[in-house]
Structure 1
């Protein structure tokens, strides 16, 4: 994989690489496949560590729906409450977001078939790079050696995603747990067959119709992120391209 500088994984204001480019390439790339049962074997637990409310769904929402059907034990860890999603907004204050976004997560998880309340760490949105060691320490007592930890890719492009991914990798190594990373923003800045992506270790998880539909419905639960902000003129935080990627009948992850 080519070396990745911050500039190389820049997230600009566009819709990013269109699905019309990604889907044909992913269909023909010959990525190795993986099943939910092998990612989280019987008796193991899935721990999903999300930097922000909605990342758990965007990254592995279809997998979570499948695991709920399989009755696997699931723990969701919310690192932040997503209070920095609407900077300078007169419509969405940090206090409003602190109430709204966790509630949206609960609705989304219910649509995936998950009733457990997430573990909330309450770390500040947008500042996880400086708090990576603290995040790692907060994760340690939550993890067990038989866990499979799912999180955002450590080179995803968003600083909070990258800090969370690295903290999970380090914490899991100390515990002896397995880590699976999932790209979220990388689909925006990368291109098909992009040498900056670790395709050799990529695995494709096919989603059945029910799991795929549950993920689409869960994505729609994040209403605060799907509406434009008239007070700033900003468009939705979850762009149309992000929503389209969440509608894929598969998920790609990096074990």
Structure 2
């Protein structure tokens, strides 16, 4: 278990979230601790978040995007990490590009790399490379591609979200991944993390997009994974 004071050594940090709420669920504690250190910290939101309730007629896709981006900003403010304007890539939710064959992938990689350079990022925090959601894996690919051509790439920490619920054996780390796993003590900021998760009102019952009963809401069982006094990370040992 690494103490909360560990985050002070991360320097300028950029957290990359596939969807609005991943930043609070996967690394809300780390963000809250960073917010108390005075280290520069900001966030990247990869997708537009519109597909949690695609059948809503009361809220158009543009309206759903606006709601979720507002929730994202609110969560960052609760965590004390909203001093710098986040980068909103606006890629299609559930269809984040994952390969260089897609022009939007190349464009997003360039935007992400420019942002990391502008923020003088010493650390980037990104979903676990095999977190079992296609957008999470695509986000990992985007970050990896951005780091690959940087002469001095930042330190990379990887967090888990869906692995708690859906991981198959092949999704778990192996020696070939060259990562070191650790737990981070977030006991001092659990309350802030829970407030940040709750800020994503559209994703927790009773929700906001109530005219789509088949839409997505975080279950109590899922939320329980993120209520404890620690977070799990894997640190890449090679750039």
**If the length of structure 1 is used for normalisation, what is the TM-score?**
0.77
1:225 aligns with 2:192: no
1:239 aligns with 2:219: yes
CA distance in 1, matches of 2:45, 2:171: 28
CA distance in 1, matches of 2:133, 2:59: 21
Is the 2:203–2:216 Cα contact (8 Å) retained in structure 1? Answer: yes
Report the counterpart of residue 190 of structure 2 in structure 1.
212
Shift of 1:170: 2.5
Structure 2 CA distance for partners of 1:248 and 1:132, relative to 1, 3 Å: farther
Stretches of structure 2 that go unaligned for 5 or more consecutive residues are: none
SS of 1:180's partner is strand
Report the counterpart of residue 179 of structure 1 in structure 2.
156
Report the counterpart of residue 162 of structure 1 in structure 2.
137
Shift of 1:168: 0.9
Shift of 1:162: 0.5
Alignment of 1:85-164 (within 5 A): 85-116=52-83, 117-129=85-97, 130=102, 131-144=104-117, 146-164=121-139
**If the length of structure 2 is used for normalisation, what is the TM-score?**
0.82
Is the 1:36–1:67 Cα contact (8 Å) retained in structure 2? Answer: no
Report the counterpart of residue 188 of structure 1 in structure 2.
165
Is the 2:96–2:135 Cα contact (8 Å) retained in structure 1? Answer: yes
Shift of 1:239: 1.9
CA distance in 2, matches of 1:36, 1:81: 31
CA distance in 2, matches of 1:40, 1:46: 10
CA distance in 1, matches of 2:144, 2:4: 20
Stretches of structure 1 that go unaligned for 5 or more consecutive residues are: 1-32
Structure 2 CA distance for partners of 1:40 and 1:150, relative to 1, 3 Å: farther
SS of 2:132's partner is coil
SS of 2:141's partner is helix
Work out the number of aligned pairs and report it: 219
Is the 2:14–2:121 Cα contact (8 Å) retained in structure 1? Answer: no
CA distance in 1, matches of 2:213, 2:54: 11
C-alpha distance after superposition, 1:160-210 (max 9, x if no partner): 11010121123123222121111111111137xx5641177221001133x
Which piece of structure 1 moves more, 194-203 or 174-183?
194-203
